[in-house]
Structure 1
């Protein structure tokens, strides 16, 4: 995901097929279930849950689905227990890859992730082998409301942003990853429409792939990783990743 603007990822998700959209719903639902069990079912007292509800709505998850997931996770009837796992490795041409998972079966997930790396010309490494190349950054993306840049700058920094970038369609903001909730809520309070707000891993340097076969394999590796139900996020430092055109 990293290596391109967050907005490109959002546009790609919004244009996803029904099958891909269902997977997005499943992944967000799994995240919601985990934070409800950790911090309770009341969004007012659970900032992570508020962020995930906003994320679900920005991905067009119906409110009924969100409510059902929260109630199920808060009840005694939900026996699912997901564990957070992080896998690291290298794709073709030495591209650094971090895979964040939520799984109810570590052996199955580790085997699947290793298989994808092996099949598409990469190799899964040990913990910490590539994470030193990435920094944790809070990223907030909101619609460009047409305000002049001085006003946008004033609002962003007042909300707690470290930096911002104005595009034709959106404004992308970086902030402390622990301040994502407060920054999002401050901007929404100012009347901005937030499209995405979450912490992500941003690479400190990028790798370019020249070989056509390696480009194809790297694309397939990312596709299979992101399609796996246990995988929540995939971060990489592939600089020249092809961008899908909007139809």
Structure 2
């Protein structure tokens, strides 16, 4: 469903603070580029063919052509939401490094944690800058600054993550599970990574923030969403098996735990979303 956002006349976007108590939208998209900065709690986004996991300091970019649905919000979940009009994007995104923000649905994932100092600075800026009854000139200037500052923090995050203290065995295990999510044998995974199973499990959880099984299941779910798409070309069973799940029962259990509803309900939602409006 393409949503028309209610942006006051004279403004080139908007910023507001979202909590888990807010009204939950159905899967939707809109013309404006959207930014989300998570400050507390956990949640997830379902996009057309992938899932974004949201944790504190996660910065997400949602583009015009991307249908998205916010899920799995913990009770304490909070984030800033910013939306930016096409006019503002064209005024601000004038360098090669920012051209991607003008695209409708660029390839790749646009979701990752940013440094704590950048997150705190953006949180503070949003808290003191965006009043409920703004003066258009000041508000639009602040929107432009937020857009550029957030993108700068997002692109710098690559450098921080590359130099973070992650054990080489943990990195190898994460890459193996990402590339081969059908792997079930922790002993074999640990042997390829170069550590004992118990040591790898403890170290992986401490440095990645989730266990080996949880990480593997998330990779499988993301692969399933990409393979299944809208359900026109594959059954859920064939997509689940191709994604690495050993059985439909295993897939059903993991899917329900992650999304909070059954695969059958997901199929109904996707069918309803794809059905043309009368």
Same-fold call, TM cutoff 0.5: no
The answer to which structure has the higher strand fraction is: 1
Answer 1 or 2: higher relative contact order, Cα 8 Å, separation at least 6: 1
The structure with the largest alpha-carbon Rg is 2
